[in-house]
Chains A and B, each alone.
Chain A
Amino acid sequence: MSAPELKVQDLAVKDGKGNWLVQPCSFTLKPGVALSIIGGSGSGKSLLVQAIMGSLASGLRASGEIRLGNAVSRAEDASGRRPWWGHTLAMLPQEPWLALNPSMRAGKQVAESYHYVSNTRMGMAQAKMQASADLNQLGVAAASEKYPFMLSGGMAQRVAFAATRAGGAQVVIVDEPTKGLDADARDNLLTVLQTVLKQGGSVLTITHDMHVARMLGGNVMVMRDSNVLEQGTAEQVLENPQHEYTRALLAADPENWTQAMPAPGTGQQILEARGLGKRYGKQTLFSGINLEIHAGERIAISGPSGAGKTTLGNMLLGLVAPDQGSIALAPGLDKLKLQKLYQDPVSAFAPRLTLKQAFDDLIRLHKLNPSALPPMLARLKLDEGLLRRLPSQVSGGELQRLALARILLLSPALIFADEPTSRLDPISQQDTMNLLLETVAENASAILLVTHDRELAAKTMQRHIAIQHA
């Protein structure tokens, strides 16, 4: 059965004050043909698909017309599209790990769509069997009896996908489906989406990942600042971009980065680790890791999800005690000189204190020179006015650079950067990564990077440590 055609006419979103959040745009999603929307954070991509679904936050107003097959709905009449949900139109949310009910087994969360939503109205027992079969087909049969917190990001992604599809919807919207997934999980998901397309379904994807847009093919739409800048077939847009911004987006893909200069790696030794090992319960995470880090070195830690990459980094910083082995810091080196840059900058700042407070406290606590802050912010291309705001009021890229400034004030010998840019859009990712590398080089610090992005690691780091499941 092939999907109904989704036709969007002059769809726009305004906030309560009448500001445009999405300028009027029109497009058609044909059965079997993918449409990918790419663009930076805050460009209105997510609002656009929420407007299609009819799940915009209260206070935002949509206008325009949405047709799904023979059904027509005015965009502002969100409740009119409620009956479509699950039956004909479905959305796989961002961060599937959070989108699953934490206190319900995964299989049941898929089965309920068959039981309550699907037109087949199957009984619970049959629905459960069908759900198990679906999960089996997606390669996550083991997930059925597990709770979401026991699943990896990639597994949760596929469970959420099964739950999204089980209601019978042929038109699927997926919002940043590969955020935070490693390459294997990403390829897995792409296969799943391609299968939907082959079976005549249609897929509307929002993504930061040019690789995803390229692999799904079909059509591509580029958005910036509430505007659709260009749209066309994937080949046209990705191979021969018309708009300058599209070219910048493509250039920001780590695949197209220039190789960073090799670092000397002959500086003073910062730390030496021997025979490091870690176990969780009866399971050995890794063992027998030997490592020396010298000033100026750039080291990437790679390995599959759950292999213990973050744990190893934390161990070197002294945040986690090793079960085996030992770590020796260079004589006279204070532990404070080993610093960590977190994956999610929002949770690395106190949410209800202004950023100025965060910096003032740091300066007072460590008796730093307050006059070092303004040039540091300028170096990281940050406006001092940002300091008056709360962490939730600045963009992800800015906040990550503020987190970097906070670390650099301590003139660290080693920075452990744990997926520092995985939540940023490609352009902020490149900016942040460049500034990180430049400042690290200026300070002759060493950097230890954990990332699931092989390209990024290859382009920026000089030494690679792979850890495998023991």
Chain B
Amino acid sequence: MIKVLSHLLLRRCLQAVLVALLVSTVSFFLMHSLSGDLAFRIAAGRYGYDMVTAAAAEAVRVELGLDRPLLQGLILWWQQLLQFDLGDSYLSSAPVIEEIREQFGHTLQLALSALVLSVVIALPIGLIAGLNPHGWLDRVSLTLSIILRAFPPFLLGILLILLLSSKLGITNAANASHEHGGLFLPALTLALSLAAVSSRVARDAMVEVRRSAYFNFARTKGLSDLLALLRHGIRNAAVPVIAYLGVQLVFLMEGVIIIESLFAWPGIGHALAHAVFGRDIPMIQGTAIVMGLLFVLCNTLVDIACMLADPRQRYLASRRADA
């Protein structure tokens, strides 16, 4: 098992390096191909639109080396990256790594809470719906899934604020003692969107398990329905749900950026959105890299969870590690 794990981690580390390089390079080119004059936008970000003059923009251009040829800029950026230096923010002049360090914890907290919450919501609903396919719960949860998935996350977030905070007063949309309103609402918004699909995956997995020869054998062996479900049903039904989480990570990453902005959640996604408006290239590159790495990390966690839940995958992984 240790050998398998280290093999997996090694592979994922290599992947992480590639992701970091690729994301940083692509974002570098994307930022430089944006329309408008970079130095003007940055100067506007620093001093306000009313205060920007050609001279101020020129000063910014020289200060940040934006007058350098593109290729030279890229090579400089790679050099910095190899020294784990993400540069300084164009706007605040603080090291990017410092800002990200502060935000990363928040984002991780939000992403993992949303992931866990989505499983907590999706698994029981999906499993129960799957135990009684075409029953009322199955039909209601299917309808809700379609509606929830059809809503873009920002709209769902606004509706939840309206419903839970304004109408019912259960949660705070904004907290007086805090600049944001707590973890629950943004995590719930993301979790609901994720659970919309996960619950259907869980439902189909459960239907499959119930139809399976081994589940029926568990029953004819003499186990009660509950025991058959606990010992032979849930774990096998959970494997595809966990595997599908890996697919949904893309949606999670994308959702984090939008939801953080909507709920003023002080995480990386929020920072990324701000950095884009301000043309804060080092900040954009830094946050993009960290998001990319977070993606690799979450994928690794999903892989490990799959291996723990499914002995066949453990076996195949150990075969790969041996080869």
Q: Which A residues form the contact surface with B (CB < 8 A)? A: 53, 55, 85-87, 90-91, 93-95, 98-104, 112-113, 116-117, 147, 149-150, 160, 163-164, 166-167, 169, 281
Complex: A117 Cα to B315 Cα, angstroms: 31
Complex: A115 Cα to B161 Cα, angstroms: 51
> Contact between B214 and A281 (Cβ–Cβ < 8 Å)?
no
Assuming the contacts A55-B216, A147-B315, asked whether A103 and B222 have C-beta atoms less than 8 A apart, the reply is: no
User: In the complex, which residues of chain B have a beta carbon less than 8 angstroms from the beta carbon of A169?
Assistant: 222
B250 to chain A, nearest CB (A): 27
Say yes or no: is B93 at the interface (Cβ < 8 Å to chain A). Answer: no
> Contact between B227 and A101 (Cβ–Cβ < 8 Å)?
no
Question: Which one of B218, B219, B231, B236 contacts A102 once the chains associate, using CB atoms below 8 Å?
Answer: B236
Question: Which one of B220, B309, B310, B311 contacts A85 once the chains associate, using CB atoms below 8 Å?
Answer: B220
Say yes or no: is B213 at the interface (Cβ < 8 Å to chain A). Answer: yes
Question: Which one of B220, B224, B232, B322 contacts A55 once the chains associate, using CB atoms below 8 Å?
Answer: B220
User: In the complex, which residues of chain B have a beta carbon less than 8 angstroms from the beta carbon of A150?
Assistant: 315
| Interchain residue pairs with CB less than 8 A apart (24) | A55-B216, A55-B219, A85-B219, A85-B220, A86-B222, A98-B213, A98-B214, A99-B217, A101-B214, A101-B218, A102-B214, A102-B236, A102-B312, A103-B312, A104-B232, A104-B235, A112-B223, A116-B222, A147-B311, A149-B311, A149-B315, A166-B221, A281-B319, A281-B322
Say yes or no: is B168 at the interface (Cβ < 8 Å to chain A). Answer: no
> Contact between A93 and B227 (Cβ–Cβ < 8 Å)?
no
> Contact between B221 and A86 (Cβ–Cβ < 8 Å)?
yes
- In the complex, the number of residue pairs spanning A and B with C-beta atoms less than 8 Å apart equals 81
> Contact between A90 and B221 (Cβ–Cβ < 8 Å)?
yes
- Chain B, range 16-51, C-beta contacts under 8 Å to A: none
User: In the complex, which residues of chain A have a beta carbon less than 8 angstroms from the beta carbon of B319?
Assistant: 281
Question: Which one of A87, A93, A166 contacts B217 once the chains associate, using CB atoms below 8 Å?
Answer: A93
User: In the complex, which residues of chain A have a beta carbon less than 8 angstroms from the beta carbon of B109?
Assistant: none
> Contact between A86 and B220 (Cβ–Cβ < 8 Å)?
yes
User: In the complex, which residues of chain B have a beta carbon less than 8 angstroms from the beta carbon of A281?
Assistant: 319, 322-323
User: In the complex, which residues of chain B have a beta carbon less than 8 angstroms from the beta carbon of A160?
Assistant: 217
- Chain B, range 199-234, C-beta contacts under 8 Å to A: 212-214, 216-224, 227, 231-232
Q: Max chain B CB contacts within 10 Å: which of A103, A163, A169?
A: A103
> Contact between B217 and A100 (Cβ–Cβ < 8 Å)?
yes
1/0 per position for B312-323, CB-CB distance to A under 8 A? Answer: 100100010011
> Contact between B312 and A112 (Cβ–Cβ < 8 Å)?
no
User: In the complex, which residues of chain B have a beta carbon less than 8 angstroms from the beta carbon of A98?
Assistant: 212-214
14 other contacts beyond A86-B221, A116-B224, with CB at 8 A cut-off?
A91-B220, A93-B217, A98-B213, A99-B213, A100-B214, A100-B217, A101-B232, A102-B311, A103-B235, A104-B232, A149-B311, A160-B217, A163-B217, A167-B221
User: In the complex, which residues of chain B have a beta carbon less than 8 angstroms from the beta carbon of A53?
Assistant: 220
Q: Max chain A CB contacts within 10 Å: which of B217, B221, B311?
A: B221
**A280 closest partner in B (C-beta):** B319
Say yes or no: is B131 at the interface (Cβ < 8 Å to chain A). Answer: no
Assuming the contacts A116-B227, A163-B221, asked whether A93 and B216 have C-beta atoms less than 8 A apart, the reply is: yes
